[in-house]
Amino acid sequence: MSFGQGGPFDGPGGSSSSTPDWGALAEESEARSRRKRWMWIGGGALATLAVAGIVTAAVMASGGSPGGGPTAAPTASDRAAAQDDKPSFPEVSVPPPPNPQDYITDPKKDTAPLTPATLFPQKSMVVGEHSYPRTATATTKDCTAAAQGALVSSLSHNGCKQLLRATYSKGGVAVTIGVAVFDSPARATKVMNEGKPNLMPLAGGGVPSDFCQGTKCRMATNATGRYAYFTIAGYLNGKDVTGSETKAQQIARDGGSYAFAQITQRGKDQAAKAAERQLKEAQRKAGRS
Residue 228 confidence (pLDDT): 99
As a three-state string, the secondary structure of 227-241 is EEEEEEEEECCCCCC
Among the residue ranges 81-85, 191-195, 250-254, the one predicted with the least confidence is 81-85
Model pLDDT for residues 253-280, shown as the tens digit of each residue: 999 999 999 999 999 999 999 999 888 8
Residue 218 confidence (pLDDT): 97
Residue 27 confidence (pLDDT): 61
Report the distance separating Cα 107 and Cα 102, nearest Å.
9
Residue 271 confidence (pLDDT): 96
Domains along the sequence of the chain with CATH: 25-67 (no CATH), 100-280 (3.40.1000)
Mean pLDDT of 143-161: 97
Model pLDDT for residues 214-229, shown as the tens digit of each residue: 999 999 999 999 999 9
3-state SS class at 179: strand
pLDDT at 115 over 90: yes
pLDDT at 40 over 50: no
Question: What is the percentage of the chain residues whose pLDDT exceeds 90?
Answer: 62
Report the distance separating Cα 98 and Cα 105, nearest Å.
13
Burial pattern 146-178, b for ≥16 Cβ within 10 A else e, equals: bbbeebbebbeebebebbbbbbbbbeebbbbbb
pLDDT at 12 over 90: no
Up-side HSE of residue 178: CA atoms within 13 Å toward CB? 31
52: pLDDT confidence band, cut at 50, 70 and 90? very low
Neighbouring-strand partners of residue 176: 167, 232
pLDDT at 4 over 80: no
Residue 5 confidence (pLDDT): 36
Neighbouring-strand partners of residue 169: 174
Task: Tell me how crowded residue 204 is: count the other CB atoms within 10 A of its CB.
Answer: 15
How long a stretch of residues is the chain?
Answer: 289
* Higher-scoring residue by pLDDT: 1, 120: 120
DSSP state of 100: G
Cβ(179)–Cβ(163) below 8 Å = yes
